[in-house]
Amino acid sequence: MTSAELLPAAVLKRKAVVYIRQSTQAQVQTNLESQRRQYELVDVARQRGFRDIEVIDDDLGRSASGMVARPGFERLVAWLCAGRLALCCASTPPGSLVTAATGTICSNSAAWSRRE
């Protein structure tokens, strides 16, 4: 990536988060390629020029059905709402990459409005 493609210094001083999640323990155990690709999003943030990168993987094996707590998602939403993040990377079905502060990090709009 050339210096012309890097984000402004003020943006790069803020935190970047890579949110990693798979819905079931079976997915965690069998979809290792998906996990590997999600963890590689750290490299995407680094290539964009971020130095303060945090991985949130607390929610591996936790469904977004609303029936179980997702502490990682709660932390992510709190940071987003507080304006502390410059970048959020998440892998969303069917494998599309979201790199936006308030992009599609929920499987549905109801989850976002409930902040689940």
Separation of alpha carbons 114 and 63, rounded Å: 15
Could you tell me which residues come within 8 angstroms of residue 11 by beta carbon, excluding any fewer than 6 positions away? 86
Active-site residue identified among 3, 23, 63, 91: 23
Annotated catalytic residue 23:
yes
For residue 94, is the peptide bond before it cis, meaning its omega torsion is within 30 degrees of 0? yes
Q: Which residues are catalytic?
A: 23
